[in-house]
Amino acid sequence: MASQWIVEYLQWLFLLILLLNLAQRRQYETAARKRLATLYIAAGLILFYAVAHLIQLLEASDWWLLPTAAALVFALTRGESALRAFRLSCRSCGARLSLATIVYQDSNLCSNCRFGQPPEAPGPET
Ligand SMILES: [Zn+2]
């Protein structure tokens, strides 16, 4: 049963996200938005876990997980929220971001763009 699997393993993912949130706390100046995003994601996972647990208790059908998952994905992806705070590529030049930047930098800019030196554009001295 999918709900049983979720009840068993989702807590580890939840713990991982909370640890990530604690790590982001150290980078408060640059990761405030992403820290809030990880909290939202953790809250969503708790909700999903609660529904899976309820399904187990009531011995209901696993199909109830589908509307819950759909609502969760909708809530976490709409607008400027949660999952959209994390980007894999630079917002300015499209270069692949390092893991530290993905997790800790709200700006979603690679180090070149962050310090005002886009790699494509030559500097004024040339
Ligand atoms: Zn860039």
Q: Does 20 lie in the same domain as 49?
A: yes
Distance of CA 91 to the CA centre of its chain: 17
Number of domains in the chain: 2
User: Residue 126: is its pLDDT beyond 60?
Assistant: no
Q: Does 98 lie in the same domain as 80?
A: no
Q: Does 99 lie in the same domain as 76?
A: no
Q: Does 40 lie in the same domain as 72?
A: yes
Q: Separation of 87 CA from ligand 1 center, angstroms?
A: 12
Q: Does 55 lie in the same domain as 16?
A: yes
Q: Does 108 lie in the same domain as 67?
A: no
Tens of pLDDT, residues 64-88:
889 989 998 888 888 777 888 899 9
Cβ(106)–Cβ(35) below 8 Å? no
Structural domain boundaries enclosing 94: 87-126
Q: Does 114 lie in the same domain as 75?
A: no
Predicted structure pTM score: 0.78
End-to-end CA distance of the chain: 64
Residue 33 DSSP one-character state: H
Q: Does 72 lie in the same domain as 100?
A: no
Q: Which residues surround ligand 1, an ion (CB under 5 A)?
A: 90, 92-93, 95, 110, 113
Least confident range of 1-5, 19-23, 49-53? 1-5
Tens of pLDDT, residues 32-60:
889 999 998 998 889 999 999 899 899 88
User: Residue 102: is its pLDDT beyond 80?
Assistant: yes
Q: Does 119 lie in the same domain as 66?
A: no
Q: Separation of 107 CA from ligand 1 center, angstroms?
A: 10
Q: Separation of 125 CA from ligand 1 center, angstroms?
A: 20
Residue 120's pLDDT band (cuts 50, 70, 90): low
Question: Residue for token digits 């400027």?
Answer: 80
User: Residue 118: is its pLDDT beyond 60?
Assistant: no
